[in-house]
Amino acid sequence: MICIDRVREKEDKFLESIYKSDSNNLYYKSDTVDVSNNSPCVFRGITRMPTIKQCVDNNIDFYYIDTGYMGCYPVKKWQRFTINNLQVRDHLSYKQLDFLTDVKVLKNRFKDITNIDYDNYKPKRPVEGDSILIIPPSLNTIRSLKVMKYLDFEQEDYIDFITKEIRKYTNKKIIVRQKPNRKERTLNGKTLPHQLKKDKVHCLVAYNSIAAFEAIQEGYPAITLGPNCANFLSDNVLKNIEKPYFADDEKIREHSLYLSACQFNIEEFRNEYAMKQVELLQHYPTYNKFKKVIL
């Protein structure tokens, strides 16, 4: 395993933890990948897309670390960990998880992450609202995904296109949410759940934002237009905006448990639990299989 950090003075603690978990692992800082070595590479953060592309172009497996799917406020304790994808796009049922791993351990982790007892977890059901909330890809995301040549638009083009498409199917108010910085979200109350409730949102429209999964957990339908951890639970067709698909309770419960099993704390990276779980539970086709471009 090769952990490739950004070229900077400090070291990434998650990459360093993986590196130190096995004496055979390597660690270095670089903006390029040694493609003559086909060992799997590990990266953290979407700005590493140029190096990820080098892996994809040369059929080298890559592992990706970024913000967790849930339980990341007010402290970002959990990080998602995926193989050949930026987010988990697979799904395993409760029975499959119980067969593959210790489901009691997963339930305990779920409670640690969400502060909810899984056996008593009942998802919220949607209530029809007055507005549509668009979550555009961030500027950083667009810049990074352009490297893969999957996106060829600017953020304002995306917002304009999606707004016009939505307007074909509904007269509901359209609101655009630009991602607030972490301080605004954690200290100034600009959280997604607060806005969903305040603006009486009917449906959230996202590309690859984890906000889609967060909205569904809060009881708001979502339409996802790109590779997203919420694809299993969401609609993906804008013409359905008035009556978007909303998964039943059991699907939401199972997918929430599955995603909780695909994010990890620093100690789990250090003791190799994270790596073992990824290899055991994630089997979706590689990132370069996703070719959908909406503009």
Averaged over 280-287, what is the pLDDT?
Answer: 77
pLDDT in tens, 96-153: 999 999 999 999 999 999 999 999 999 999 988 999 999 999 988 898 888 887 778 8
Confidence (pLDDT) at 293: 47
d(CA 31, CA 295): 30
- Burial (CB < 10 A; 0-12, 13-18, 19+), residue 16, is middle
Cis peptide preceding 244, ω within 30 of 0: no
User: Is the pLDDT confidence value at 286 over 80?
Assistant: no
Length of the chain, please?
295
pLDDT band at 248 (very low <50, low <70, confident <90, very high): very high
Q: Which of 175, 165, 164, 232 is nearest to 203 (CA)?
A: 175
Confidence (pLDDT) at 128: 84
Backbone angles phi, psi at 231, to 5 degrees: -55, -40
Please measure the distance between the N-terminal and C-terminal CA atoms of the chain and give it in whole angstroms.
37
| Residue at token pair 């990266």 | 43
Joined tokens for residue 291:
């070719």
Q: Answer whether 0.85 is exceeded by the pTM.
A: yes
- Burial (CB < 10 A; 0-12, 13-18, 19+), residue 4, is buried
Q: Which residues contact 64 (CB under 8 A, 6 or more apart)?
A: 42, 43, 44, 52, 80, 81, 82, 83, 85, 86
pLDDT in tens, 205-214: 999 999 999 9
If DSSP codes are grouped into helix, strand and coil, which group holds residue 42? strand
Pairing of strands 79-83, 62-67: antiparallel
Quick one: DSSP state of residue 125?
A: P
If DSSP codes are grouped into helix, strand and coil, which group holds residue 261? coil
What residues pair up with 42 in beta bridges, in sequence order? 3, 63
Confidence (pLDDT) at 276: 96
